[in-house]
Amino acid sequence: MKAVVIEKPGQAAVQSVADPTPKPGEVLLKIRRVGLCGTDLNSFRGKNPMVSYPRVIGHEICATVVEASSGHPHLTTGTNVTVSPYIPCGRCPACLRGRANACQINQTLGVMCDGALAEYFAIDAAKLYTASLGLEELCLVEPLSVGFHAVARGRVAADDAVAIWGCGGVGLGAIAASGFRGAKTIAIDMDDAKLALARKAGATDTINAATEPVHDKLLEITNGRGPDVAIEAIGLPATFRAAVEEVAFTGRVVYIGYAKEQVAYETRLFVQKELDILGSRNAQSADFREVIAMLEAGRFPVDSAISHTISLNETPETLQAWSTNPVAYSKIIVRVS
């Protein structure tokens, strides 16, 4: 079968690889759509420290069941599914606490082990989710679930005001999740097009950090209180600090982004405001189910969120073009079949 392989940094190709052979408990899938995200771009560029080469990429997956597992009668042949791409160890402290999304030695498809940007794939049936959704919608479940998990970590409720720094793929998921829960949702970015998409996804208010005073606008929107929850989805020292500085007293700060360098804080605010400061990694089953419920309710602008749809054979040249001009792309969907 054909698969997209990153052979080494800057070099990807469509190659012939062995067909998968399902193990006991696994389901054979025909891959229909695969989404590409910043993780895939960083892997192509050689900037993802967790990836090794050569590597078949692909962790945002929509597929159709070809051969079902006898222990999962709901997964009949022809059923469309999406996939949780995280493979935990089951033994580390996070796994033993029931938080396998933060597994100490997690293996993510397409990063630490081969992914699903291929014609067929086999995976444990427990990793599959069915839904009454179209193929593109199923492909968006996993990337949106990461933002949904951050909102769950922040315990966002309908009476909260939530400020979200960053309207990229992960930030957009947090915006959609906050809006779906009925919260006042404030999207902050420097790109008007991303802010317009954030409005469609559920933001009640937007702030362009390049042209508007973020601090003043946040106070104006929240009646002088500051946001109850601050979610950082960019990964810059300035926005890491801003989340702590802008959040209300006794508020919650959730970090999804990885800062690219060390962050210097005025730690007095941690104590003075008595903040809950939380990390957020990957997603749990409840997050997948909440995303599916939102998509089934028609509450997300699927067509507007996808910037490019390409074929499997076009993927290597698209990765190169994306690497050269990243601002020209947002969500890329690969039509495999």
> Is there a domain that residue 43 lies in?
yes
The yes-or-no verdict on residue 153 having pLDDT over 80 is yes
In a domain, 137, yes or no: no
The pLDDT score that the predictor gives to residue 258 is: 85
Handedness of CA 174, 178, 179, 183 (dihedral sign): negative
Predicted confidence band of residue 74 (pLDDT cuts 50, 70, 90): confident
Angle ∠(80,83,86) on CA atoms, nearest 5:
170
- Domain range for 206 is 146-279
| 110 in the same domain as 79 | yes
- pLDDT tens digit sequence for 198-227: 999 999 999 999 999 999 999 999 999 999
The Cα 272–Cα 270 span in angstroms is 6
**Residue 291 within a domain:** no
Q: CATH no. for residue 65?
A: 3.90.180.10
Count of domains forming the chain: 2
271 in the same domain as 154 = yes
Q: Is the pLDDT of residue 260 over 90?
A: no
Same domain, 96 and 37: yes
Q: What is the pLDDT of residues 281-337, one digit of tens each?
A: 999 999 999 999 999 999 999 999 999 999 999 999 999 999 999 999 999 999 999
Q: Does residue 240 share a domain with residue 156?
A: yes
Nearest C-alpha neighbor of 131 from the set 319, 276, 297: 297
153: CB partners within 8 A, 6+ apart: 254, 278, 279, 280
Same domain, 209 and 314: no
The pTM assigned to this predicted structure is 0.96
Would 68 be classed as within a structural domain? yes
Does residue 125 sit in the same domain as residue 153?
A: no
Residues 207 and 250 in one domain: yes
pLDDT at 70: 75
Same domain, 32 and 114: yes
* Co-location of 197 and 258 in the same domain: yes
**Same domain? 126 vs 150:** no
